[in-house]
Structure 1
Amino acid sequence: MKKCLLTTAALFSFFAGNLPAMAQTNNERQASSEGGEVYFQNCTAARAAGAAPIRAGEPGYRRKLDRDGDGVACE
């Protein structure tokens, strides 16, 4: 168990330096629209931010949030 944790910690520390976006919290990513990207972890988060429904082409839209594939997410 200790060896697994050490390996995981070593991998995380290696990749963390190369992925600065991973350092942001989910709330920072959801609230940030100035960076050109809007990300909602799920439809609950999109609704809480007042962004739902999200249409294809709008910031924050992604196929995973569009269950029926009609181009409107979190409806």
Structure 2
Amino acid sequence: MATPVAPPPTTVAVPQPFVPQPPAVPAVAPTINPPQPTTTSPTVPSAYYPNCAAARAAGAAPLHRGDPGYSSKLDRDNDGIACE
């Protein structure tokens, strides 16, 4: 009679515990664009009148200091109101 042979030992794979990894950090920090200055200057008028007749014809007269198209050459008495 044959001698009984013991079966080979069985191995059981034990799963490793889950270890969360920190998120990947980019190698280069993102650049932040600073706000760009406006290209228009508030002192540049958006209208031009060569004389008071042209301002009146456009319906813009009288022009006050700071208004588009105001010019000191149109304000004869220098009171801030042109083409009165």
TM-score (ref. length: structure 2): 0.46
Deviations 1:20-62 (A, max 9, x none): xxxxxxxxxxxxxxxx620001000000000000000000001
Aligned partner (choices 46, 55, 59) of residue 64 of structure 2:
55
Which has more helix, going by share of residues? 1
The CA RMSD measured in Å over matched residues stands at: 1.0
**4+ residue segments displaced more than 6 Å:** none
Q: Map of 1:9-24 to 2, 5 A cutoff?
A: none
How many residue pairs are counted as aligned between the two chains? 40
Aligned partner (choices 64, 73, 77) of residue 64 of structure 1:
73
Residue 12 of structure 2 is matched in structure 1 by none
Identity percentage of aligned residues: 65
5+ residue gaps, structure 2, are 1-44
5+ residue gaps, structure 1, are 1-35
TM-score (ref. length: structure 1): 0.52
**Of the two, which has the highest radius of gyration?**
2
Shift of 1:71: 0.1
SS in structure 1 at match of 2:73: helix
User: Whole-Å Cα distance in 1 between the matches of residues 63 and 69 of structure 2?
Assistant: 7
